Structure 1
Amino acid sequence: MLHGHGDDGYRYGTKVVADFSTNVWYGGEPAGLKEYVFERWNEVNRYPEVLAESLREKIARHHQVPAEQILVCNGTIESIYLIAQLFTGKRTTIVIPSFAEYEDACLAFDHEITSLNWQDALELPRLKSDLVFICSPNNPTGQVFQDLQYWLKLNPQCLFVVDEAFVDFTEDQIAVLSLVSKFPNLLVMRSLTKVYAIPGMRLGYLLAREDWVGQLVNIKQPWTVNTLAIGAGHFIYDHFDKVQPPIKQLLSDKRMFVQELCKLECLEVMDSDTHFFLARTLVRNAAQLKEFLLDKHGLLIRDAGNFRGLTRQHFRLATQRPEDNDKMVNALKEWQTLYY
């Protein structure tokens, strides 16, 4: 799905005052990162490291694993498509609703796809698949998947791919990386673009047993991670403790935001473990709501009607600055007055 994601304000002629459609940290990149990267501009005159080897080593030291268990990629997207390519023609289960690129990548490589509803997946069924995609915390619901260990034990024939692009936005940072050493059928994908607000740099990595990483290296294209992105990764891990955004405050703001939204009769707001969450308009549909909010107030939301398993009424909101959250609440009050 080349189009149909969030952060699509560039497609409209209206000025975006506040962007609730993207789940990237609104506070911008860490202080000093831009200067650090720009100082390395002359390095673009040479090819980057083939596999971003120096960053691979640094990430491995951070997680205290061998470098052979890490693969640095051009965003999580490259990881997804590499895995889909490795499993060409295989049977794949995708837990939905979730990120559309899992399905798109699998279709590109002739997978036999089964969609499994999130609630049904929580029952931890036995599977007949070779590959399973789970996003946790999930996009678009923001929910964390529970009891993964038991599901891994129950289906040893499946490679479970867990996308943890948003794990840094959970208060307790409930991660499954530590399970990789215990389960050979687990692969974890991580993003460095969401929490550090650098999605335009395209930077992420995956962690798995060495044999899985080795197979992915064998089909990976060279030089996919550019020199400036590698530099950004070095800056992040060299200053790791200093570059973390205020997640506790963000989640506190989110709770207050949701509390106000729940007072509106025209909406239904769903539970979430992250700063973003799903809502459902009880009047008209999300596409019409998106148009209203953008045209009348310059506020951009994510129409979630194109997520498999959701309806035309669903939309996603990511918590922004408190003053912008107030603007959204007031705009939705107007929507309610006009149409509910």
Structure 2
Amino acid sequence: MLYGHGDNGYRLGGDIIADFSTNVWHGGEPAGLKEHLFSQWRQINRYPEVAGESLAVKAARHHGLTSENILVTNGATESIYLIAQAYAARRSGIVIPSFSEYEDACRMHGHKVDLIEWDHLAVPGKQELLWLGNPNNPTGAVFSQMEHLLGNHPDTLFIIDEAFIEFTRTITSAISLLHHYPNLAILRSLTKTFSIPGLRLGYIAASREIINKLQSLKMPWSVNAMALVAGHFIFDHYASIGIPLDRLLQDKESFVRQLRQDHLTVLDSHTHFFVCETSSGTARALQQYLLDECRILIRDAGNFRGLSERHFRLATLAPHQNQLLITALEKWQRKCA
């Protein structure tokens, strides 16, 4: 799906004062990254590494793996399409609601797609691949029985998207399971936590065999020089540039309490983002109202499989911005009453 994601205010018109539609960390890039990028500006005068090899070494060291277990990609989205291509015409289960690119990539490459409800997560029939966001986008739900699934279904390749793993305290990464389970590929993103989605940077962690299969299909230079510079900076400073997760989750809990006090339905979430349901009109109408009247952007979640036209996704911002939305939603409810 080319369009239909969050952070699309440029298509909707008008200046935005609070963007709740993207679940990227709202605090901006790590201190020192901007200056470092400018200091390395001459990197753009040369071609980048063909496959981001040196960054793969650094990511592998961070996770206790070897560089043969890592493939650096142009964001998690390239990872998704590479895997769908490498296993073309297979049978894929997709746990919904979920990021639409799993299904789009699978259908593009001729997969037979089974949609599996999150609340009934299982591996039906002769499933060859299973796609799962953990934590899940858009709901912020988590699945904690990964090793059980891997062990009971050795012939199924599990693609676990951990783009938002650093926004929860409930679960930890499944990367350590790679030492024991070859039927596992983990997608990681460096853009959400470190607030650099415009640079497009991520990686796949998997067995040597899977990485070699994907590498054979990957186009050269898919990750640009500045993204690679940012990746090196992140891994060189990882311990000191993490997001203030405890504070962010506290802000989220306060935000959710206020929304529920205003009689808005908010689904439970283990991350800083979550899904709501409006009882007044549709999410699309609400999105347009907030944009026109308040210059606030939310994510209409009506195009997620398993959700309805009344659902929308919010990400927690700074408390004063959260309050702007609460006030605006109260006005919307009065307008629709």
SS at match of 2:132: strand
User: Shift in Å at residue 152 of structure 1?
Assistant: 1.3
Paired residue for 1:209? 207
User: Shift in Å at residue 126 of structure 1?
Assistant: 4.4
SS at match of 1:180: helix
1:144-159 superposed matches below 5 A: 144-159=142-157
Gaps spanning 5+ residues in structure 1: where?
A: none
Separation in structure 2 between the aligned mates of residue 336 and residue 4 of structure 1, nearest angstrom: 25
User: Shift in Å at residue 155 of structure 1?
Assistant: 1.3
Sequence identity percentage: 50
1:102-251 superposed matches below 5 A: 102-121=102-121, 124-172=122-170, 174-251=172-249
1:1-340 superposed matches below 5 A: 1-121=1-121, 124-172=122-170, 174-265=172-263, 267-340=264-337
Higher mean C-alpha deviation, range 204-213 or range 124-133: 124-133
Separation in structure 1 between the aligned mates of residue 125 and residue 243 of structure 2, nearest angstrom: 39
Gaps spanning 5+ residues in structure 2: where?
A: none
Structure 1 contact 201–229 (Cα < 8 Å) conserved: yes
Separation in structure 2 between the aligned mates of residue 5 and residue 279 of structure 1, nearest angstrom: 16
Separation in structure 2 between the aligned mates of residue 49 and residue 167 of structure 1, nearest angstrom: 27
SS at match of 2:21: coil
**1:230-255: CA deviations, max 9, x gaps?**
00000011111111111110000000
Separation in structure 1 between the aligned mates of residue 291 and residue 171 of structure 2, nearest angstrom: 33
Separation in structure 2 between the aligned mates of residue 186 and residue 37 of structure 1, nearest angstrom: 34
Structure 1 contact 99–307 (Cα < 8 Å) conserved: yes
SS at match of 2:160: strand
Q: Which amino acid aligns with 2:63?
A: H
Separation in structure 1 between the aligned mates of residue 93 and residue 316 of structure 2, nearest angstrom: 31
Q: Which amino acid aligns with 1:324?
A: Q
SS at match of 2:220: coil
**1:290-316: CA deviations, max 9, x gaps?**
011111111100000000111000000
User: Shift in Å at residue 337 of structure 1?
Assistant: 1.4
Q: What TM-score results when the alignment is normalised by the length of structure 1?
A: 0.97
User: Shift in Å at residue 272 of structure 1?
Assistant: 0.2
Higher mean C-alpha deviation, range 192-201 or range 44-53: 44-53
Separation in structure 2 between the aligned mates of residue 126 and residue 201 of structure 1, nearest angstrom: 37
Separation in structure 2 between the aligned mates of residue 261 and residue 203 of structure 1, nearest angstrom: 34
Q: Which amino acid aligns with 1:227?
A: A
Separation in structure 2 between the aligned mates of residue 102 and residue 222 of structure 1, nearest angstrom: 23
Structure 1 contact 277–316 (Cα < 8 Å) conserved: yes
Structure 1 contact 94–103 (Cα < 8 Å) conserved: yes
Structure 1 contact 126–154 (Cα < 8 Å) conserved: no
RMSD: 1.0
Higher mean C-alpha deviation, range 189-198 or range 12-21: 12-21
Structure 1 contact 171–251 (Cα < 8 Å) conserved: no
Separation in structure 2 between the aligned mates of residue 172 and residue 114 of structure 1, nearest angstrom: 28
How many residues are aligned here? 337
**1:143-177: CA deviations, max 9, x gaps?**
11121111112211110000000001012552211
Separation in structure 1 between the aligned mates of residue 5 and residue 125 of structure 2, nearest angstrom: 30
Separation in structure 2 between the aligned mates of residue 212 and residue 239 of structure 1, nearest angstrom: 29
